[in-house]
Amino acid sequence: MLVRGDRIVAAGPVSSVTSPTGARTIDLAGTTLMPGLIDAHSHVLLHPYNETPWDDQVLHEPLALRVARATNHLRNTLMAGFTTLRDLGTEGAADADVGLKQAIDRGIILGPRLIPSTRAIVATGSYGPKGFDPRWDVPQGAQEADGVEGVAHVVREQIGHGAEWIKLYADYRWGPNSETRPTFSEEELRSAVETARSSGRPVVVHSSTPEGMRRAINAGVETIEHGDGGTPEVFRLMAQKGIALCPTLAAGDAILQYRGWKKGVDPDPPSIRAKKASFKAALDAGVTIASGSDVGVFTHGDNARELEMLVEYGMTPIQALRAATSVDAKVLHLDERIGRVTPGLLADLVAVAGDPTRDISAIRQVRLVMKGGRIVRAPALP
């Protein structure tokens, strides 16, 4: 492969690639070279819940502390071979993901290509933190909005603050017994989609109930996150509409382990069995599977966990690798820039020891990382 500047110039057999005089050569014998990995669902301003509960991160940690910690998260993620992240909500940290993106782009800090969504949008009264005396107006982990006009206003506000994707919660745990129920109406979701689309921005929703997913699908969103309770009928509708599912398998798995589940020793809890069934239904329906881990719930830099679980839950290694490269690139509208080892695209490249098409865990054995033609990790470098 030949890289010049930030682009791939040529790729193929040695006989087909001419090395210019003075070109730097890196010998990667014994490795597999592939496109930089993409995580389409991250929270760079969160850290694992077994370190600090979500409520305490939102309410007690100073913004400066969270941003400082996030710079480490971003560096660790890039060094793990993930060269692009879609950040889906700052969780109480305002629009800090936009500032982090600017710091990366200007070379101030090291990190993946970052796609910010600023604050997620939630229906009033549905999100958290909760459980406080109702006299107090407790800061929320997302931005509240109500009604067709209210949702449109908040979408425009987030666009003005630098959001490149708009994220809404189509359902959440606000039922009479804290069960998950739909939040926004189909009309409110459609208002968000139409407003965002007029600015050239897509909409993504958090949803795990069949009704919340159905409303989001009908409203015209582009990706649905989680989808735990998706039914075969709902998944068939997603496939027909070309809406991608980002199943975030690793997050629920991590949370249950925090609560005491010994994976591989204890039987699968009911929620894990249900998740495996819904994921199989999505695969059977032909839904596009995007790879996004919900990292932040667990340790940044351990993003490979999601690809391993995609395989564990039924995908082949090559399907999982495509989900985290070419498929994610297309879902994120970046397929003309990243996601493939193709001349003309940005030189986002990762080399790993072994063959991840046979053993997906090989993606953890990172030997080289290049982002936009710049080597950030190599055998001769720290």
pLDDT digits (tens, 9 = 90+) for 225-239: 999 999 999 999 999
Does position 361 have pLDDT exceeding 50, yes or no? yes
pLDDT in tens, 333-342: 999 999 999 9
Average pLDDT, the chain: 97
pLDDT band at 379 (very low <50, low <70, confident <90, very high): confident
Question: Are 249 and 313 a contacting pair, CB within 8 Å?
Answer: yes
Q: Is the confidence at residue 184, as pLDDT, over 80?
A: yes
State the pLDDT at residue 19: 86
pLDDT at 328 over 50: yes
Dig out the tokens for 225 from the structure. Answer: 């996150």
Q: CB within 8 A of 252, min separation 6: which ones?
A: 228, 271, 272, 275
9-34: pLDDT as tens digits: 999 998 889 889 999 999 899 999 99
pLDDT tens-digit readout, 122-181: 999 999 999 999 999 999 999 999 999 999 999 999 999 999 999 999 999 999 999 999
Task: Write the CB contacts of 98 (distance below 8 Å, at least 6 apart in sequence).
Answer: 116, 118, 161, 162, 163
- Which letter does DSSP use for residue 18 in this model? P
**In which band, very low, low, confident or very high, does the pLDDT at 58 lie, cut at 50, 70 and 90?**
very high
Tens digit of pLDDT for each residue in 249-285?
999 999 999 999 999 999 999 999 999 999 999 999 9
Structure tokens, 238: 């997603």
| pLDDT, tens only, 281-313 | 999 999 999 999 999 999 999 999 999 999 999
Judged against a pLDDT cut of 60, whether residue 318 lies above it is answered with yes
Output the pLDDT for position 14: 87
- DSSP annotation of 324: I
Locus of tokens 């991160």 = 57
Cβ contacts of 168 within 8 Å, gap of 6 or more: 120, 121, 122, 151, 184, 189, 192, 203, 204, 205, 206
Q: What pLDDT is recorded for position 380? A: 64
The answer on pLDDT for 382 being more than 50 is: no
